[in-house]
Amino acid sequence: MQSNLQKKVITQCSSDLRLALLGKEAEAPVFPVFHSRNLDINAWAVLLEIIGESHRIRVQHKASGLWLTEILACLPPGSELGGPLYEGKLSEWKSSEFHKTFKQHRYAFNYNNLNFSDTDYESRIRESIKNGTDIISYDFASHRKDGNLDLYGPTTMISVRGDDHSIEWASLHAYPDEQLSILSHSHLAVV
């Protein structure tokens, strides 16, 4: 799967996945948005966006004014992110977990590689986020290298839930060319 980011062609590969966190003042890069949804979940305003085989999630805690944007995407090094609070390549992490405490909030992220033969994506994401929102998803047309149509094309799914002080979301990204799916889970709490 290829997407166009600032006129650069990017072949998406799970080993290139980067996590970027942006604050309110940072301008998020322009991506093609394939599907989006605005949600009000208790004390949170949420924008979910599927961008290629990736996602951008922007959350705002209405009472405190806290903003955070999470981008999980195959970003090329040096992408213009407008001064991220954090940016890192998942394949370079020593573990599959990341925790960071900021002035107003605590953030946690983890991910798991899934067996690609487990194509019941919806139940996997529902296990990760109990009582979450309806899942938003996008299935991409995909062709294998031999030119034949791939019945299980690249897929991205997101679900979210929140209460007055915290919000969490899960996303699933399927990479059929690699026979791999990645399930990520993020949690943000106001301190």
Q: Which two tokens stand for residue 125?
A: 């994401």
Question: Using one digit for the tens of pLDDT, what is the confidence trace for 118-169?
Answer: 666 667 767 766 766 667 666 655 544 555 544 455 678 888 989 999 999 9
What is the residue whose two structure tokens read 């990736």? 54
Answering whether pTM is above 0.85, one says: no
Question: Using one digit for the tens of pLDDT, what is the confidence trace for 166-186?
Answer: 999 988 887 777 878 888 999
